[in-house]
């Protein structure tokens, strides 16, 4: 299970929206296989009767009123880091 | 280097007019400049810091009420959003990013009169244990420039060890406050999960990330925690803090301390082990009851960590898409191309590595075998911590099995680098507070002991740590 093929790496890269060079594909194939090989020993651990822990402080469903709070941040502040803008719009490249 | 008095003394000097905020800020900026060879700092916050210092001094002159940290400069890891400088998380994808708001932790410190003067280096996005994964440069260990300062909060720990400011802030996802603190010979506190708001801190792994102080003494760490902790409407994962102030010191009464067998067995450098054994002896002489305890699932913690954390990393880093903020590749012809090129050119090798591991362990067909299995073994770990804390009040062990390694020694082998975290990740996975306190030296380099307490026993942990500090 831990041996990843070149194809696996390319598939993962595509899922994660990363484009890799041939050198990177080869490097990650080796490294990711080694890392997955290391974590694989969890397979043999007996976890019968146990449920997963996703949260450790015991908080559940923290809710608040849906209200507007003014934090003094302007629209311009929020938009100043946008790479391509058209006024108050975030501009993106065409889809196709 | 004793460039500064304790934080409380520094604040008292400014409040009384013996010293001024402006002098403190100028002193810190000069120290930062004079020590630039260590590359602990990414950006200084000069204009805003000087402006705030003037405001504070004017308040003091008018006799207005001032805060507990009045005029005290500090340095924040560069994954804290701050006004007055870029926030880069040491990554190319965030280079030039100017945060539109500031982290709650820094707002709370500022409300008490503290002044952020600089942003410290880290492994990009806090992925690493040596700052060698910084997209910009490697921080050098203040005690030996050929060695790493540790990581990921390496710049913060080096800054405090160099005395650039009285304290610094770090973040700890799997040891990133404690490990560099051990490597640089300073105090590093990882509080209980949820005790300090993470609003405005670049997210790495949301189920284990905590933020905390790096200082030269336990009482300084207690003061900073006291100011920063508590619930925050902007971070729904924050918990209600202890009613008592973290700053009140009461000597522990014959505390029961469990030495973690799994951490003292093989794989620990003999000189490091000797330092830890001396620390145990000191605590024993001071009246602590010492016993050796076993948490059989501890050797699995690192594997759990390197499944759970990359999974959360891959999710948290999906927001860097080149469209709304951060680096965007201008050559892309369509949107999909823009995502791929921006992310591929903006992320460094380690971020890509973790994103892909995370994507793999969360992908359909592998989710149960990796992610769900790891989270279930995490339950086992949590249960073992709960039951060991029925027998002892605290746990003790090394922070890292070795001293600061040479720059480049582990950088060719990512798995070897991950193994450096072997004694720190468990506290993050179960959410308990842990602290690294200087304990001695091995091969001429600092060694810290790690003290661990149950969740929300941060005050007890600080008291034990101070008690230990006093035995030295």
Among B100, B319, B411, the residue to mutate for chain A (most A Cβ within 10 A): B100
The predicted model gives B108-137 an average pLDDT of 98
Q: How many CA atoms lie within 13 A of B433 on its CB side?
A: 31
Query: Which tens digits make up the pLDDT trace of B220-257?
Result: 999 999 999 999 999 999 999 988 999 999 999 999 99
The CATH architecture to which A6-44 belongs is: Orthogonal Bundle (1.10)
The predicted model gives B66-84 an average pLDDT of 98
Which residues in chain A are closer than 8 Å to B429, comparing Cβ atoms?
56
Would you say how long chain A is, in residues?
96
Reduced to 3 states (helix: H, G, I; strand: E, B; else coil), residue A30 is: helix
**Alpha helices (H) along B252-372:** 261-264, 270-285, 301-316, 335-346, 349-362
Domains and CATH numbers, chain B: 1-472 (3.90.1300.10)
Rounded CA-CA distance B472/B175 in Å is 24
DSSP labels for B4-69? S--HHHHHHHHHHTSS-HHHHHHHHHHHHHHTGGG--EEEE-HHHHHHHHHHHHHHHHTT----TT
Mean pLDDT, chain A, integer: 94
Known catalytic membership, residue B274:
no
Q: How confident is the model at residue B412 (pLDDT cuts 50, 70, 90)?
A: confident
pLDDT at B207: 97
pLDDT at B472: 86
Q: How confident is the model at residue A71 (pLDDT cuts 50, 70, 90)?
A: confident
Which residues in chain B are closer than 8 Å to A18, comparing Cβ atoms?
340, 343-344, 347, 352, 355-356
Query: Which tens digits make up the pLDDT trace of A14-60?
Result: 999 999 999 999 999 999 999 999 999 999 999 999 999 999 999 99
- Percent of chain A having pLDDT more than 70? 98
Known catalytic membership, residue B152:
yes
Query: Which tens digits make up the pLDDT trace of B321-366?
Result: 999 999 999 999 999 999 999 999 999 999 999 999 999 999 999 9
Query: Which tens digits make up the pLDDT trace of B3-40?
Result: 999 999 999 999 999 999 999 999 999 999 999 999 99
Query: Which tens digits make up the pLDDT trace of B152-197?
Result: 999 999 999 999 999 999 999 999 999 999 999 999 999 999 999 9
Which tops the pLDDT comparison, B199 or A73?
B199
- Percent of chain A having pLDDT more than 90? 83
Rounded CA-CA distance B29/B165 in Å is 9
Say if residue B46 is preceded by a cis peptide, omega within 30 of 0: no
Q: Tell me the two tokens of residue A59.
A: 């908080």
Considering only alpha carbons, which residue of chain B is nearest residue A23?
B349
The predicted model gives A56-82 an average pLDDT of 92
Residue with tokens 């030269």: B216
Q: What is the ipTM of this complex?
A: 0.96
Question: Of residues B176, B181, B182, B342, which has the active-site annotation?
Answer: B176
Which residues in chain B are closer than 8 Å to A69, comparing Cβ atoms?
233
Domain parsing of chain A, residue ranges: 6-44
Q: Which of A4, A17, A56 sits opposite B207 (nearest CB)?
A: A56
Question: Of residues B59, B77, B108, B466, which has the active-site annotation?
Answer: B77
Q: Tell me the two tokens of residue B432.
A: 């308990």
pLDDT at A76: 94
- Asked if pLDDT for residue B1 goes beyond 60, the answer is no
**Alpha helices (H) along B163-269:** 178-184, 218-228, 261-264
Q: In this structure, are residues B389 and B291 in contact, taking their beta carbons and an 8 Å threshold?
A: no
DSSP state of A43: G
Question: Could you give the C-alpha distances from B32 to B117, B438, B459, in angstroms and in order?
Answer: 9, 23, 32
Query: Which tens digits make up the pLDDT trace of B289-315?
Result: 999 999 999 999 999 999 999 999 999
CA angle B23, B29, B31 (to 5 degrees): 100
The predicted model gives A62-87 an average pLDDT of 92
Residue with tokens 């720059």: B407
Rounded CA-CA distance B120/B152 in Å is 10
Which residues in chain B are closer than 8 Å to A35, comparing Cβ atoms?
306, 353, 357, 414-415, 418
Known catalytic membership, residue B176:
yes
**Alpha helices (H) along B317-424:** 335-346, 349-362, 373-391, 414-419
- Percent of chain B having pLDDT more than 70? 100
């Amino acid at each position: 299970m831990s041996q990843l093929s070149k194809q696996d790496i390319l598939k993962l890269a595509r899922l994660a929206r990363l484009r890799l060079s041939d050198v990177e594909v080869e490097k990650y194939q080796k490294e990711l296989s080694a890392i997955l090989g290391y974590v694989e020993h969890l397979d043999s651990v007996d976890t019968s009767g146990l449920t997963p822990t996703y949260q450790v402080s015991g908080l559940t469903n923290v809710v608040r009123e849906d209200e507007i709070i003014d934090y003094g941040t302007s629209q311009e502040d929020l938009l100043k880091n946008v790479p391509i803008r058209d006024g108050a719009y975030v501009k993106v490249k065409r889809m196709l | 280097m004793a460039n500064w008095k304790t934080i409380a003394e520094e604040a008292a000097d400014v409040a009384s007019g013996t010293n001024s905020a402006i002098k403190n800020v100028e002193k810190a900026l000069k120290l930062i400049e004079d020590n630039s060879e260590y590359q602990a700092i990414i950006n200084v916050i000069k204009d805003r810091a000087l402006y705030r210092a003037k405001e504070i001094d004017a308040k003091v002159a008018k006799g207005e009420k001032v805060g507990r940290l009045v005029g005290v400069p500090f340095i924040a890891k560069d994954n804290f959003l701050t006004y007055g400088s870029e926030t880069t998380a040491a990554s190319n994808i965030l280079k030039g990013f100017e945060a539109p708001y500031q982290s709650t932790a820094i707002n709370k410190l500022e409300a008490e009169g503290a002044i952020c003067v600089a942003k410290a280096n880290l492994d990009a996005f806090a992925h690493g244990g040596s700052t060698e994964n910084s997209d910009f440069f490697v921080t050098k260990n203040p005690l030996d420039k050929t060695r790493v300062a540790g990581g990921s909060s390496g710049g913060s720990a080096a800054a405090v060890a160099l005395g650039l400011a009285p304290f610094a802030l770090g973040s700890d996802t799997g040891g990133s406050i404690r490990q560099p603190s051990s490597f640089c010979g300073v105090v590093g506190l990882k509080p209980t999960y949820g005790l300090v708001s993470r609003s405005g801190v670049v997210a790495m792994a949301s189920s284990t990330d905590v933020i905390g102080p790096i200082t030269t003494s336990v009482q300084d760490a207690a003061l900073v925690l006291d100011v920063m902790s508590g619930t925050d409407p902007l971070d729904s994962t924050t918990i209600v803090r202890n009613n008592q102030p973290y700053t009140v010191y009461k000597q522990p009464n014959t505390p029961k301390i469990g030495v973690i067998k799994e951490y003292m067995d093989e794989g620990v450098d003999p000189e490091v082990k000797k330092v830890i054994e001396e620390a145990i002896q000191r605590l024993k002489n001071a009246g602590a009851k010492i016993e050796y305890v076993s948490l059989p699932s501890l050797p699995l913690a690192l594997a759990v960590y390197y499944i759970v954390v990359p999974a959360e990393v891959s999710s948290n880093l999906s927001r860097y898409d080149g469209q709304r903020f951060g680096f965007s590749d201008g050559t892309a012809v369509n949107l999909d191309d823009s995502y791929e090129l921006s992310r591929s050119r903006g992320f460094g090798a380690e971020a890509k590595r973790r994103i892909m591991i995370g994507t793999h362990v969360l992908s359909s067909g592998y989710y149960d075998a990796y992610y769900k299995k790891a989270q279930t073994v995490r339950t086992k770990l949590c249960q073992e911590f709960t039951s060991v804390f029925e027998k002892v009040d605290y746990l003790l062990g090394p922070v890292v099995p070795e001293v600061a390694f040479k720059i480049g020694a582990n950088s060719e082998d990512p798995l070897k680098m991950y193994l450096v975290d072997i004694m720190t990740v468990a506290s993050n996975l179960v959410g308990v507070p842990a602290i690294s306190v200087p304990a001695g030296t091995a091969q001429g380099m600092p060694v810290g002991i790690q003290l661990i307490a149950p969740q929300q026993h941060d005050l007890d942990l600080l008291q034990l740590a101070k008690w230990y500090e006093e035995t030295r």
